[in-house]
Protein backbone atom coordinates (compact mmCIF):
# COMPACT_ATOMS: atom_id res chain seq x y z
CA UNK A 1 0.00 0.00 0.00
CA UNK A 2 1.10 3.56 -0.70
CA UNK A 3 2.51 5.56 2.20
CA UNK A 4 0.61 8.43 3.76
CA UNK A 5 1.51 11.92 2.54
CA UNK A 6 3.29 12.58 5.85
CA UNK A 7 5.58 9.65 5.13
CA UNK A 8 6.05 10.95 1.59
CA UNK A 9 7.18 14.29 2.95
CA UNK A 10 9.67 12.55 5.27
CA UNK A 11 11.04 10.64 2.27
CA UNK A 12 12.09 14.01 0.79
CA UNK A 13 10.88 13.07 -2.69
CA UNK A 14 12.08 15.32 -5.50
CA UNK A 15 9.14 17.23 -6.99
CA UNK A 16 10.46 16.34 -10.46
CA UNK A 17 9.59 12.71 -9.74
CA UNK A 18 6.02 13.78 -9.07
CA UNK A 19 5.98 15.83 -12.28
CA UNK A 20 7.10 12.75 -14.19
CA UNK A 21 4.37 10.70 -12.52
CA UNK A 22 1.72 13.29 -13.49
CA UNK A 23 2.94 13.46 -17.10
CA UNK A 24 2.72 9.69 -17.51
CA UNK A 25 -0.67 9.57 -15.79
CA UNK A 26 -1.95 12.22 -18.21
CA UNK A 27 -0.55 10.85 -21.48
CA UNK A 28 -0.59 7.13 -20.55
CA UNK A 29 2.47 6.86 -22.77
CA UNK A 30 6.18 7.04 -21.93
CA UNK A 31 7.18 8.59 -25.26
CA UNK A 32 4.59 11.36 -25.06
CA UNK A 33 5.42 12.01 -21.42
CA UNK A 34 9.11 12.27 -22.32
CA UNK A 35 8.25 14.83 -25.01
CA UNK A 36 6.21 16.90 -22.58
CA UNK A 37 9.02 16.93 -20.04
CA UNK A 38 11.81 17.43 -22.59
CA UNK A 39 13.54 14.26 -21.39
CA UNK A 40 14.45 10.91 -22.88
CA UNK A 41 12.19 7.93 -22.40
CA UNK A 42 14.90 6.10 -20.48
CA UNK A 43 15.33 9.08 -18.12
CA UNK A 44 11.66 9.21 -17.14
CA UNK A 45 11.59 5.41 -16.79
CA UNK A 46 14.38 5.75 -14.23
CA UNK A 47 12.52 8.58 -12.47
CA UNK A 48 9.25 6.66 -12.13
CA UNK A 49 11.16 3.63 -10.86
CA UNK A 50 12.82 5.83 -8.19
CA UNK A 51 9.41 7.14 -7.15
CA UNK A 52 7.99 3.62 -6.89
CA UNK A 53 10.98 2.53 -4.83
CA UNK A 54 10.64 5.55 -2.52
CA UNK A 55 6.95 4.83 -1.98
CA UNK A 56 7.46 1.06 -1.93
CA UNK A 57 4.57 0.47 -4.33
CA UNK A 58 3.74 -0.02 -8.00
CA UNK A 59 2.14 3.04 -9.61
CA UNK A 60 1.55 1.82 -13.18
CA UNK A 61 0.57 -1.27 -15.09
CA UNK A 62 2.96 -1.49 -18.06
CA UNK A 63 0.96 -2.60 -21.09
CA UNK A 64 1.84 -2.74 -24.82
CA UNK A 65 -0.52 0.13 -25.63
CA UNK A 66 0.12 2.36 -22.66
CA UNK A 67 0.65 2.94 -18.96
CA UNK A 68 -2.37 2.57 -16.69
CA UNK A 69 -2.57 3.66 -13.06
CA UNK A 70 -2.68 1.01 -10.38
CA UNK A 71 -4.78 1.48 -7.25
CA UNK A 72 -1.77 3.12 -5.58
CA UNK A 73 -1.34 5.35 -8.64
CA UNK A 74 -4.93 6.52 -8.40
CA UNK A 75 -4.42 7.31 -4.70
CA UNK A 76 -1.28 9.30 -5.41
CA UNK A 77 -2.70 11.28 -8.36
CA UNK A 78 -4.71 13.95 -6.46
CA UNK A 79 -2.03 14.33 -3.77
CA UNK A 80 0.76 14.74 -6.33
CA UNK A 81 -1.32 17.27 -8.25
CA UNK A 82 -1.83 19.37 -5.12
CA UNK A 83 1.85 19.21 -4.14
CA UNK A 84 3.15 20.19 -7.57
CA UNK A 85 0.62 23.02 -7.86
CA UNK A 86 1.66 24.30 -4.41
CA UNK A 87 5.33 24.26 -5.42
CA UNK A 88 4.56 26.21 -8.60
CA UNK A 89 2.42 28.66 -6.65
CA UNK A 90 5.22 29.29 -4.14
CA UNK A 91 7.76 29.84 -6.91
CA UNK A 92 5.48 32.45 -8.50
CA UNK A 93 5.51 34.48 -5.28
CA UNK A 94 9.10 35.47 -6.05
CA UNK A 95 8.78 36.07 -9.79
CA UNK A 96 7.58 39.03 -11.80
CA UNK A 97 3.82 38.81 -12.19
CA UNK A 98 2.41 39.08 -15.70
CA UNK A 99 -1.10 40.33 -16.40
CA UNK A 100 -3.09 41.09 -19.52
CA UNK A 101 -4.29 39.18 -22.57
CA UNK A 102 -2.61 37.16 -25.29
CA UNK A 103 -4.10 35.56 -28.38
CA UNK A 104 -2.46 32.67 -30.20
CA UNK A 105 -3.41 30.86 -33.39
CA UNK A 106 -3.14 27.07 -33.39
CA UNK A 107 -3.74 24.85 -36.45
CA UNK A 108 -6.18 21.99 -35.91
CA UNK A 109 -3.52 19.42 -36.82
CA UNK A 110 -1.23 20.52 -33.98
CA UNK A 111 -0.51 17.81 -31.40
CA UNK A 112 -3.30 17.86 -28.79
CA UNK A 113 -1.09 16.62 -25.89
CA UNK A 114 1.41 19.41 -26.64
CA UNK A 115 -1.31 22.05 -26.82
CA UNK A 116 -2.80 20.90 -23.52
CA UNK A 117 0.64 20.94 -21.90
CA UNK A 118 1.38 24.44 -23.25
CA UNK A 119 -1.89 25.87 -21.93
CA UNK A 120 -1.52 24.12 -18.58
CA UNK A 121 2.08 25.22 -18.01
CA UNK A 122 1.38 28.80 -19.07
CA UNK A 123 -1.65 29.00 -16.76
CA UNK A 124 0.37 27.65 -13.84
CA UNK A 125 3.14 30.20 -14.34
CA UNK A 126 0.95 33.17 -15.28
CA UNK A 127 -2.51 32.67 -13.77
CA UNK A 128 -3.47 36.34 -14.21
CA UNK A 129 -3.03 36.29 -17.99
CA UNK A 130 -6.10 35.65 -20.15
CA UNK A 131 -5.29 33.38 -23.09
CA UNK A 132 -7.37 33.22 -26.27
CA UNK A 133 -6.75 30.30 -28.62
CA UNK A 134 -7.85 30.64 -32.23
CA UNK A 135 -8.06 27.20 -33.80
CA UNK A 136 -8.03 27.68 -37.56
CA UNK A 137 -6.03 27.05 -40.72
CA UNK A 138 -2.35 27.93 -40.77
CA UNK A 139 -2.70 29.91 -43.99
CA UNK A 140 -4.97 32.41 -42.17
CA UNK A 141 -2.49 33.23 -39.42
CA UNK A 142 0.07 35.55 -41.10
CA UNK A 143 -2.65 37.98 -42.17
CA UNK A 144 -4.34 37.79 -38.75
CA UNK A 145 -1.04 38.70 -37.08
CA UNK A 146 -0.40 41.59 -39.48
CA UNK A 147 -3.89 42.94 -38.70
CA UNK A 148 -3.28 42.65 -34.97
CA UNK A 149 -5.99 40.02 -34.55
CA UNK A 150 -3.42 37.55 -33.17
CA UNK A 151 -0.31 38.16 -31.09
CA UNK A 152 1.41 34.98 -32.26
CA UNK A 153 0.66 31.70 -34.00
CA UNK A 154 1.90 28.19 -34.52
CA UNK A 155 2.19 27.95 -38.29
CA UNK A 156 2.55 24.77 -40.33
CA UNK A 157 4.70 25.19 -43.43
CA UNK A 158 5.18 22.99 -46.46
CA UNK A 159 8.32 20.97 -47.20
CA UNK A 160 9.57 23.48 -49.80
CA UNK A 161 9.26 26.58 -47.63
CA UNK A 162 12.30 28.03 -45.90
CA UNK A 163 11.69 28.85 -42.26
CA UNK A 164 13.19 29.98 -38.98
CA UNK A 165 12.03 29.52 -35.39
CA UNK A 166 11.17 25.85 -35.93
CA UNK A 167 9.03 24.57 -33.05
CA UNK A 168 8.70 20.95 -34.07
CA UNK A 169 8.75 18.57 -37.01
CA UNK A 170 6.53 15.52 -37.42
CA UNK A 171 6.60 12.63 -39.82
CA UNK A 172 3.55 12.31 -42.04
CA UNK A 173 2.12 8.82 -42.60
CA UNK A 174 -0.62 7.11 -44.59
CA UNK A 175 -3.26 6.07 -42.06
CA UNK A 176 -6.12 3.57 -42.19
CA UNK A 177 -8.17 1.69 -39.63
CA UNK A 178 -7.26 -1.86 -38.67
CA UNK A 179 -10.20 -3.22 -40.67
CA UNK A 180 -9.47 -1.27 -43.87
CA UNK A 181 -9.06 -3.58 -46.87
CA UNK A 182 -6.91 -2.46 -49.80
CA UNK A 183 -8.28 -3.46 -53.19
CA UNK A 184 -5.35 -3.28 -55.66
CA UNK A 185 -7.62 -3.50 -58.72
CA UNK A 186 -9.52 -0.35 -57.71
CA UNK A 187 -8.39 3.27 -57.29
CA UNK A 188 -7.25 4.00 -53.74
CA UNK A 189 -10.02 5.86 -51.85
CA UNK A 190 -8.42 9.01 -50.48
CA UNK A 191 -9.50 11.63 -47.94
CA UNK A 192 -8.26 15.17 -48.60
CA UNK A 193 -8.85 18.70 -47.42
CA UNK A 194 -11.30 20.55 -49.66
CA UNK A 195 -9.08 23.64 -49.70
CA UNK A 196 -5.75 24.52 -51.19
CA UNK A 197 -2.93 23.82 -48.73
CA UNK A 198 0.46 22.16 -48.69
CA UNK A 199 -1.04 19.10 -46.94
CA UNK A 200 -3.39 18.37 -49.85
CA UNK A 201 -0.71 19.14 -52.45
CA UNK A 202 1.83 16.86 -50.74
CA UNK A 203 -0.53 13.86 -50.72
CA UNK A 204 -1.56 14.30 -54.35
CA UNK A 205 2.01 14.91 -55.51
CA UNK A 206 3.39 11.85 -53.69
CA UNK A 207 0.74 9.52 -55.14
CA UNK A 208 0.99 10.97 -58.65
CA UNK A 209 4.79 10.74 -58.73
CA UNK A 210 4.60 7.13 -57.55
CA UNK A 211 2.00 6.26 -60.20
CA UNK A 212 -0.58 5.22 -57.62
CA UNK A 213 -4.13 5.23 -58.96
CA UNK A 214 -6.43 7.03 -56.52
CA UNK A 215 -9.78 8.78 -56.26
CA UNK A 216 -10.92 11.50 -53.87
CA UNK A 217 -13.56 9.62 -51.91
CA UNK A 218 -13.97 12.17 -49.12
CA UNK A 219 -13.08 15.81 -48.56
CA UNK A 220 -13.31 17.99 -45.48
CA UNK A 221 -12.41 21.48 -44.35
CA UNK A 222 -11.05 20.21 -41.03
CA UNK A 223 -8.75 17.51 -39.74
CA UNK A 224 -11.54 16.10 -37.55
CA UNK A 225 -13.52 15.33 -40.70
CA UNK A 226 -10.56 13.52 -42.26
CA UNK A 227 -10.05 11.46 -39.09
CA UNK A 228 -13.77 10.61 -38.96
CA UNK A 229 -13.66 9.27 -42.52
CA UNK A 230 -10.56 7.19 -41.73
CA UNK A 231 -12.19 5.87 -38.55
CA UNK A 232 -15.22 4.82 -40.59
CA UNK A 233 -12.95 2.50 -42.58
CA UNK A 234 -13.84 4.23 -45.85
CA UNK A 235 -10.60 5.88 -46.89
CA UNK A 236 -6.88 6.28 -46.48
CA UNK A 237 -5.64 9.66 -45.27
CA UNK A 238 -2.41 11.50 -44.57
CA UNK A 239 -1.89 12.26 -40.88
CA UNK A 240 0.94 13.29 -38.64
CA UNK A 241 2.17 10.35 -36.59
CA UNK A 242 1.01 12.02 -33.35
CA UNK A 243 -2.55 12.12 -34.74
CA UNK A 244 -2.72 8.33 -35.13
CA UNK A 245 -5.29 6.68 -32.90
CA UNK A 246 -4.93 3.22 -31.27
CA UNK A 247 -7.12 1.45 -33.83
CA UNK A 248 -5.25 2.94 -36.79
CA UNK A 249 -2.28 1.52 -38.64
CA UNK A 250 0.23 2.91 -41.10
CA UNK A 251 0.66 1.95 -44.74
CA UNK A 252 4.12 2.26 -46.24
CA UNK A 253 6.33 1.30 -49.19
CA UNK A 254 5.57 -2.34 -48.45
CA UNK A 255 1.93 -1.57 -49.27
CA UNK A 256 2.89 0.23 -52.47
CA UNK A 257 2.59 3.75 -51.07
CA UNK A 258 5.20 6.51 -51.38
CA UNK A 259 7.05 8.26 -48.58
CA UNK A 260 5.64 11.56 -47.36
CA UNK A 261 7.37 14.83 -46.45
CA UNK A 262 7.89 16.07 -42.92
CA UNK A 263 5.47 18.60 -41.42
CA UNK A 264 7.24 21.61 -39.91
CA UNK A 265 5.63 23.94 -37.38
CA UNK A 266 7.16 27.35 -36.76
CA UNK A 267 6.29 30.18 -34.38
CA UNK A 268 5.06 33.45 -35.88
CA UNK A 269 4.97 36.64 -33.83
CA UNK A 270 3.89 40.18 -34.46
CA UNK A 271 6.32 43.10 -34.92
CA UNK A 272 6.23 43.92 -31.19
CA UNK A 273 7.93 41.45 -28.87
CA UNK A 274 6.25 41.80 -25.47
CA UNK A 275 6.79 40.11 -22.08
CA UNK A 276 3.60 38.10 -22.75
CA UNK A 277 4.75 36.81 -26.14
CA UNK A 278 8.19 36.07 -24.66
CA UNK A 279 6.60 34.10 -21.83
CA UNK A 280 4.37 32.12 -24.19
CA UNK A 281 7.26 31.47 -26.55
CA UNK A 282 9.33 30.12 -23.66
CA UNK A 283 6.59 27.68 -22.61
CA UNK A 284 6.02 26.51 -26.19
CA UNK A 285 9.74 25.89 -26.67
CA UNK A 286 10.08 24.00 -23.38
CA UNK A 287 7.09 21.74 -24.11
CA UNK A 288 7.97 20.91 -27.72
CA UNK A 289 11.73 20.48 -27.45
Domain limit, last residue, from 60, 92, 124: 92
- The domain containing residue 137 runs over which residues? 100-289
Contact 258, 213 (CB under 8 A): no
Q: Are residues 66 and 120 in the same domain?
A: no
For residues 207-228, average pLDDT: 92
pLDDT at 187: 94
CATH of the domain at 206: 3.40.190.290
Q: Are residues 216 and 79 in the same domain?
A: no
Domain count within the chain: 2
The whole-angstrom distance between residue 127's C-alpha and the CA centroid of its chain comes to 22
Identify the H or E element spanning 265.
Answer: strand 262-269
CATH of the domain at 49: 1.10.10.10
Provide the 3-class DSSP secondary structure of residue 183.
coil
Q: Are residues 77 and 113 in the same domain?
A: no
Q: Are residues 105 and 159 in the same domain?
A: yes
Report the C-alpha gap between 273 and 151 in whole angstroms: 9
pLDDT at 9: 44
263-279 pLDDT tens trace: 888 898 887 788 999 99
Domain limit, last residue, from 92, 111, 135: 92
Output the pTM of the full model.
Answer: 0.61
Domain limit, last residue, from 92, 119, 140: 92
Q: Are residues 266 and 126 in the same domain?
A: yes
Report the C-alpha gap between 28 and 268 in whole angstroms: 31
206-217 pLDDT tens trace: 999 999 999 999
Contact 163, 232 (CB under 8 A): no
Lowest mean pLDDT among 16-25, 85-94, 206-215, 236-245: 85-94
Amino acid sequence: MIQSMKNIERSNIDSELLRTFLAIAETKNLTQAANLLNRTQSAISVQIRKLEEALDTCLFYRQPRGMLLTESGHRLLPEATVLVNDIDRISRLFSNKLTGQISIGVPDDFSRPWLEAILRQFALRHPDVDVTVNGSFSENFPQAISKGELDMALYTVGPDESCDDIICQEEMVWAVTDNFITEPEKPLPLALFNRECWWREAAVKALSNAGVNYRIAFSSESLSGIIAAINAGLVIGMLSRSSLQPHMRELSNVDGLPELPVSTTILLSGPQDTPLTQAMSQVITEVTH
